[in-house]
Amino acid sequence: MRMTDLQVGWTVVGNDGRRLGTINGVGQEFLHVVRTGFAADLYVPVTSIANVERETVHLNITRDAAEQMGWEQAPRHDQPEAGSDDLHRHV
């Protein structure tokens, strides 16, 4: 699967099967994940994706670990021109 195949609205879960949130945007190097309630949005790096199956993104860490990673701040840059081939990398 390529990053360009991931879609807004898909579910993101930890490797413990617990729901982290829903994809709100797909960058070159991260997923913008919206969470419910008062929880802050997260910007999950693509290096944390283990696999994707049936419109669900499975991370390689638990939901609790993802919540503790400090991913509340958007990356300072997500430049497509710096390596546009990365957009088509398989995850």
Q: Is 77 helix (H, G, I), strand (E, B) or coil?
A: coil
pLDDT tens digits, one per residue of 22-59: 999 999 899 999 998 888 999 999 999 999 999 999 99
For 3-74, CATH gives 2.30.30.240
Residue 39 CA to residue 24 CA, distance in Å, equals: 14
User: What is d(CA 64, CA 18) in angstroms, rounded to the nearest whole number?
Assistant: 9
Domain range list for the chain: 3-74
Task: Supply the pTM of this predicted model.
Answer: 0.80
Rounded CA gap, 89 and 22, in Å? 21
